[in-house]
Structure 1
Amino acid sequence: MKFLSSLVVLLLLFSCQPQKNASDYEADLIIYGGTSAAITAAVQAKKMGKTVIIVSPDTHLGGLSSGGLGYTDTGNKSVIGGLAREFYHRVYMHYQTDSAWKWQKKDEYGNKGQGTPAMDGENRTMWIFEPHVAEQVFEGFSKENELEIHRNEWLDRESGVTKENGKITQIKTLSGKTYSGKVFIDATYEGDLLAAAGVSYHVGRESNATYGEKWNGVQVGVFQHKHYFNVNISPYVIADDPASGLLPEISTNPPGENGEGDKRLQAYNYRMALSRHPDNRVPFAKPENYDPARYELLARVYAAGRDDTFEKYDPIPNLKTDTNNHGPFSTDYIGKNYAYPEASYEERKDILQEHIDYQKGLMYYLANDPKVPAEVREEMAQWGLAKDEFTDNGNWPHQIYVREARRMIGAYVMTEHDVLGAKTVPEPVGMGSYSLDSHNAQRFVTAEGFVQNEGDIGVHPENPYSISYGTLVPKKEECTNLIVPVCVSSSHTAFGSIRMEPVFMILGQSAAAAASLAIDQGIPVQELSYADLKVVLDEEKQILTQEK
């Protein structure tokens, strides 16, 4: 009888406790996003004994690294350390196996990379790879570290962030799931979590006056790559007749004054994996809403004598490419992404579909239209979408190249002065080395009545540069437990260099190290001792500085 009485009391006590809903989750660290930065962050947190949940709107892991950008923009590879270097080492190990070479013999691969061989035997790293191989590596990280990943979970951007006393306590997704944590990381390309948390950010180009820069804002007449019209081409439906109206894909707005800020973004595109193996090639299909007239500008480029169509069909293993934008009219859908960062999910879907229709139509046009030179069409006949890539998405990349969306305005703002070596960067947590690289932001009509592009920048730093911890954290008064390794606090020009996938992996790892220490010490991420953080980053073989 006494036993039964005790049991009743225990049951009553248990029933009075608040019951955790099956859709409520809790961990030390909540990471929002499925990018390469999200994975390295999760692995590092697990190494430091923290519980972690990745809340990913994506189904596939790795973001653009597994989404078509296999011809890695590395810059100086000596400053890539930690888990980022481990990623490229695992890619190297994959391609040491005979089974990795299904469509091409290993000794027939040209081993062309950016600045160094694609396959660096001395350092046992490989910088050029097929999309599915990258995804396999990220999935391997996940399995080995027993990462908890909730896929296809989209942040409720309207009311899904709960804050108390300047801290995020919980986020909610559209499916109704909630995630409580001590520290949160926004590892998305869009910066959706930081925006929903009320953290300051910028979209577009600042004026040069904002940070005393040279290469920010509008840059009419600045041509540093090959992505401009190098001969006079009429923008009008009937050549030289303004009354006939403008051809498609040309803005009706004036470009603005050089150096002034605007809301324009550098163009997005999809980094297609193309194949030239006849058994692994899917011909370019004609889109339902295909209209050859929208590519008339390209026909005029060809008629003017340009023939450099295939210069950015960069080779990756197994007779495939990472195909990028090249020339004045190519896969970049210039001027069509301005609304993307702030757009709703449904609006973003429409913007993405417009990009897909444009780019698929372009490929069909190149392969079939009689206005395209015969030699180009003949070469295009050798290419198609790679049949063994993106197999659940019609062989089309699952990730668009969001070259720039929101950028946080945080505790420290990186500018071109930091990147170009004019300043000493405080509290470094990683390094970058790539050029200040911006794709075109607009296509307009010049005062002389010709078509021209604007926004393309390529200024190379003399040396690698450090990236400050303050670049990853918001201002303390805005949020004390959020770290942002992708949409970092930087100007448009500085972000043009920082925005490379190896750097995102580096910053993801450093962000998680900082988050773990802040959790251990129970302090805001802004109050973390840099000396404590540096000890961990040194142990993890992150490269923080380099003697000039």
Structure 2
Amino acid sequence: MRIKNSLSLLALLFACTAATSPTVDDNPQHKVTHQTAVRRADVIIYGGTSGAITAAVQVKKMGKSVIVVSPDKHLGGLSAGGLGFTDTGNKSVIGGLSREFYHRLYQHYQQPENWTWQKQSEYGNKGQGTPAMDGSNRTMWIFEPHAAEQVFEDFVKENKITVYRDEWLDRSAKGVTKKGTAIQSFKTLSGNTYQGQMFIDATYEGDLMAAAGVSFHVGREANSVYGEKWNGVQAGVFQHGHHFKKPVSPYKVPGDPKSGLLPEISSEPIAENGTGDNKIQAYCFRLCMSNHPDNRIPFPKPEGYDPARYELLLRVYDTGWRETFQKYDPIPNRKTDTNNHGPFSTDYIGKNYDYPEASYERRRAIIKDHELYQKGLLYFMQNDPRMPEDVKKEMQQWGLPKDEFKDNGHWPHQIYVREARRMTGEFVMTEPHTLGKKEVPQPIGMGSYALDAHNAQRYVTKEGYVQNEGDIGVHPDKPYSIAYGSILPKEKECSNLLVPVAMSSSHIAYGSIRMEPVFMILGQSAASAAVLAIDNKVSPQKLPYEKLRAVLLKDQQRLEL
């Protein structure tokens, strides 16, 4: 009996040691193999996004232990996944660790050895911010994916942050253990258990939030729900130019409905404007391309390639449209951050509605479907003999960069999840808050970008033409504050969780908030609140705001104009 107890004690000590001081895996391509374990920290962060990493840095800076449980092998989400032409709005409201991230990228590009494919003088000072008032902290807002990923890895290494990669939340009923309203632990599919006092869900999808029983919304609310104008269906509203500007027939035989619809067009009738639905704005991959002959790979012909699915693009060109290259935004070293542009482009419209709540297997299928669509589009534009010769000739100058995403066929490892679940929390950010028409209480950061939503559906108009719907771009008159309550679940649902990415917002307000600099700001603020809640022995919902505000201001967060 004594021997058995001694062995049990040794096993317990080993588990505790492994949990409190595990080895940090600094290699993003290294999949950790281990025995199942119970791992403990003051704060457990689920997610590998930019907001997850700034949250972890802040926890460590405030003296608490933290573990990042990342389903991704690569850290940084979209910020390191191809979105290098940063959507910022008013840069003066970006402070704290978010600004530090962009400052480090400025420092990176001050090093001559980091200009491999282009002279720094050729690029000039594109994407650079002005110095702060004291002349320091200069920033770079436009950058290559691998440079951004290295900054996140440096954050992890310098702060000795424990990261477990390729760890996926068990989303079954047994995945999250709660006592009353408080999460005690969660399990991953590998069998490991993560215990903490506070938890932060920093995923784009809000998986931990949902598994913990927190209320959320998917899709577009009706305008009547929050007294908004730009939510819900918005047929006939064209604010970005991503629509069919001239009549184009949707049918296989132009003008003949009996011939059937072309691929990528929905047969569902359009609903009345302002009504809510389950549709979400389209996803795509933010493509990093190169036009340097020594650093480009021709776009590959994807499996199952069918040129017929891109017939609609040819009809767009037949109308005289020639805006193909307007969103090949230049980033250093003769590369681009290429985003959707025009009526038929990289956005895979209408093919992501079930992604937010889908199983991992189904999500992988959706992501693969997006990849094949987008690769097929690129191959079509570069090779199909029916393409306009001027466009095809220009496309043939571009390819995938050899020095990016090396372990993923040079294709981005992160799809652009523009929105998924959105929490319904203590406070809901809405259109009137972002447009300055309603006061925002207890600010923890700021946003300033346009209320930006991509198309949600492609349909047939009553006149018998194809059209897109959902493209909104409404600019606030000035930056706005983001409420503390918008990252907090209702306390009766969960009393030790903060949600800075899939936060509490209406669809259209989220269109502005959902920018990567803001996710980093909210990640840092969430971490500050989590640590202060531990120190004050209260739930985050009961944390005195003035205590949080003092810490945020000390750490150079911008809270209001």
TM over 0.5, shorter chain? yes
Secondary structure at the counterpart of residue 429 of structure 1:
strand
Q: What pairs with 1:274-353 in structure 2 (closer than 5 Å)?
A: 274-353=289-368
Secondary structure at the counterpart of residue 237 of structure 1:
strand
Separation of aligned partners in 2, 1:129 and 1:120: 18
Separation of aligned partners in 2, 1:34 and 1:217: 31
Amino acid aligned to 2:214: V
Question: Alpha-carbon deviation of 1:371?
Answer: 2.0
Question: Alpha-carbon deviation of 1:128?
Answer: 0.2
Q: What pairs with 1:78-97 in structure 2 (closer than 5 Å)?
A: 78-97=92-111
Q: Does the CA-based 8 Å contact 1:312-1:325 persist in structure 2?
A: yes
Separation of aligned partners in 2, 1:18 and 1:391: 40
Q: Does the CA-based 8 Å contact 1:31-1:184 persist in structure 2?
A: yes
Question: Alpha-carbon deviation of 1:452?
Answer: 0.1
Q: What pairs with 1:251-270 in structure 2 (closer than 5 Å)?
A: 251-270=266-285
Separation of aligned partners in 2, 1:539 and 1:30: 24
Q: What pairs with 1:100-139 in structure 2 (closer than 5 Å)?
A: 100-113=114-127, 117=128, 124-139=138-153
Amino acid aligned to 1:356: E
1:29 matches 2:22 = no
CA RMSD of aligned residues (A): 1.5
Q: Does the CA-based 8 Å contact 1:120-1:126 persist in structure 2?
A: no
- TM-score if structure 1 supplies the norm length? 0.96
Q: Does the CA-based 8 Å contact 1:403-1:499 persist in structure 2?
A: yes
Q: What pairs with 1:135-214 in structure 2 (closer than 5 Å)?
A: 135-158=149-172, 159-214=174-229
Separation of aligned partners in 2, 1:140 and 1:67: 17
- Structure 2 counterpart of 1:430: 445
Separation of aligned partners in 1, 2:505 and 2:516: 16
Q: Does the CA-based 8 Å contact 1:80-1:431 persist in structure 2?
A: yes
Q: 1:435-474 CA distances to partner (integer Å, 9 max, x unpaired)? A: 0000000000000100000000000000000000000000
Separation of aligned partners in 1, 2:336 and 2:390: 19
Separation of aligned partners in 2, 1:196 and 1:352: 22
Q: What pairs with 1:38-77 in structure 2 (closer than 5 Å)?
A: 38-77=52-91
Separation of aligned partners in 2, 1:38 and 1:16: 34
Q: 1:494-518 CA distances to partner (integer Å, 9 max, x unpaired)? A: 0000000000000000000000000
Q: 1:505-539 CA distances to partner (integer Å, 9 max, x unpaired)? A: 00000000000000111111100010000110011
Question: Alpha-carbon deviation of 1:112?
Answer: 3.5
Amino acid aligned to 2:546: A
- Structure 1 counterpart of 2:240: 225
- Structure 2 counterpart of 1:417: 432
Q: Alpha carbons of 1:347 and 1:271: their partners in 2 closer, same or farther (altered >3 Å)? A: same
Structure 2 residue ranges without an equivalent (≥5): 16-35
Q: What pairs with 1:527-538 in structure 2 (closer than 5 Å)?
A: 527-538=542-553
Question: Alpha-carbon deviation of 1:118?
Answer: 6.4
Secondary structure at the counterpart of residue 149 of structure 1:
strand
Q: Does the CA-based 8 Å contact 1:119-1:128 persist in structure 2?
A: no
Q: 1:160-202 CA distances to partner (integer Å, 9 max, x unpaired)? A: 1001110000000000000000000000000000000000000
Q: 1:255-279 CA distances to partner (integer Å, 9 max, x unpaired)? A: 2110000000000000010000000
Separation of aligned partners in 1, 2:387 and 2:259: 23
Separation of aligned partners in 2, 1:289 and 1:157: 32
Q: Alpha carbons of 1:118 and 1:112: their partners in 2 closer, same or farther (altered >3 Å)? A: farther
Question: Alpha-carbon deviation of 1:18?
Answer: 8.1
Q: 1:183-238 CA distances to partner (integer Å, 9 max, x unpaired)? A: 00000000000000000000000000000100000000000011000100000000
- Structure 2 counterpart of 1:240: 255
Amino acid aligned to 1:156: D
Separation of aligned partners in 1, 2:451 and 2:8: 60
Question: Alpha-carbon deviation of 1:305?
Answer: 0.3
Secondary structure at the counterpart of residue 242 of structure 2:
coil
Separation of aligned partners in 1, 2:467 and 2:418: 21
Q: Does the CA-based 8 Å contact 2:443-2:559 persist in structure 1?
A: yes
Amino acid aligned to 1:96: Q
Q: 1:370-399 CA distances to partner (integer Å, 9 max, x unpaired)? A: 221101111011100011000000000000
Separation of aligned partners in 1, 2:130 and 2:467: 38
Q: 1:255-314 CA distances to partner (integer Å, 9 max, x unpaired)? A: 211000000000000001000000000001111211111001100000010011000000
Question: Alpha-carbon deviation of 1:19?
Answer: 2.5
Separation of aligned partners in 2, 1:317 and 1:279: 15
Q: 1:120-179 CA distances to partner (integer Å, 9 max, x unpaired)? A: 696510000000000000000000000000000000001210011100000000000000
Structure 1 residue ranges without an equivalent (≥5): 1-7
Secondary structure at the counterpart of residue 359 of structure 1:
helix
Amino acid aligned to 2:379: Y
- Structure 2 counterpart of 1:5: none
Amino acid aligned to 1:379: E
1:513 to 528, 535, 538: 528
Single out whichever of 158-167 and 125-134 deviates more from structure 2: 158-167
Q: Does the CA-based 8 Å contact 1:45-1:516 persist in structure 2?
A: yes
Q: Does the CA-based 8 Å contact 1:119-1:126 persist in structure 2?
A: no
Question: Alpha-carbon deviation of 1:96?
Answer: 0.3
Question: Alpha-carbon deviation of 1:400?
Answer: 0.3
Q: Does the CA-based 8 Å contact 2:423-2:502 persist in structure 1?
A: yes
Moved over 4 A (4+): 8-18, 117-123
Separation of aligned partners in 1, 2:58 and 2:520: 11
Separation of aligned partners in 2, 1:480 and 1:14: 37
Separation of aligned partners in 2, 1:298 and 1:539: 52
Identity of matched residues, %: 67
Q: Does the CA-based 8 Å contact 1:111-1:119 persist in structure 2?
A: no
- Structure 2 counterpart of 1:458: 473
Question: Alpha-carbon deviation of 1:542?
Answer: 0.2
Q: Alpha carbons of 1:15 and 1:264: their partners in 2 closer, same or farther (altered >3 Å)? A: closer
Question: Alpha-carbon deviation of 1:111?
Answer: 3.8
Separation of aligned partners in 2, 1:15 and 1:336: 52
- Structure 2 counterpart of 1:396: 411
- TM-score if structure 2 supplies the norm length? 0.94
- Structure 2 counterpart of 1:4: none
